[in-house]
């Protein structure tokens, strides 16, 4: 099992790498298109704004490399901002996303008692069985920090939802492309299970 974590200047790289090491997975940080192409499976982390993330990926040639990698059928997963970058666009910015899963990202609607960003621990509700979420039961709790929610164009691409003023997609998958809106590296045993499943795909 080997996982390549994309280093494009955004994301909790050390925490992500340490979590993979704890579950016995060979992990390396990569920052070039060539390294992406040579990988067995790729994890795209990310924190911050959508356009900043896409600008960094485009400037370094990583955006094109990730699109090419996505077409190979090898596992590719985005977490937090990385999940949002997999889609076509975001309300947060003007740049196009990677376009690997049809859909977009929209800001949470303001509502009485609903704080934005959505921050802290929250549970998921799984919608169907999938190897990515094997052993991740409904009511498993994960750590979230985000102001925008992913809206896949195809409902079948949603693996799990979370309730925050209404249900939103918290885990998605389309073929070999997948994403998690929360931070698995901060989510203790539940996050460890998800990353272990990804490393085994």
Residue positions annotated with a catalytic role: 80, 183, 185
Helix axis angle for 50-59 and 62-70, nearest 10°, is 90
- Contact call for residues 172 and 128 (beta carbons, < 8 A): no
DSSP 131: G
CA dihedral 182, 82, 84, 95 (to 10 degrees): 150
Tokens standing for residue 183: 């931070």
Please provide the size of the chain in residues.
Answer: 201
Tokens standing for residue 57: 């990926």
CA distances from 42 to 98, 101, 129, 159, 198 (A): 14, 16, 22, 19, 10
């Amino acid at each position: 099992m080997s996982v390549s974590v994309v280093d494009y200047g955004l994301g909790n790289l050390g925490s992500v790498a340490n979590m993979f090491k704890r579950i016995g997975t060979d992990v390396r940080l990569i920052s070039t298109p060539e390294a992406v192409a040579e990988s067995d499976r790729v994890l795209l982390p990310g924190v911050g704004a959508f356009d900043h993330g896409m600008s960094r990926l485009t400037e370094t040639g990583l955006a094109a490399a990730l699109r090419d990698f996505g077409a190979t059928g090898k596992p590719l997963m985005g977490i937090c901002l990385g999940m949002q970058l997999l889609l076509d666009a975001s309300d947060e910015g003007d740049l196009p996303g990677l376009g690997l899963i049809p859909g977009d990202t929209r800001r949470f609607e303001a509502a009485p008692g609903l704080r934005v960003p959505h921050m802290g621990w929250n549970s998921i509700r799984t919608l169907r069985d999938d190897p990515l979420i094997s052993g991740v039961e409904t009511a498993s709790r994960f750590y979230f920090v985000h102001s925008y929610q992913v809206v896949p164009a195809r409902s079948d691409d949603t693996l799990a939802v979370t309730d925050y003023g209404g249900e939103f997609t918290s885990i998605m998958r389309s073929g070999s492309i997948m994403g998690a809106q929360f931070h698995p590296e901060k989510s203790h045993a539940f996050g460890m299970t998800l990353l272990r499943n990804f490393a085994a795909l």
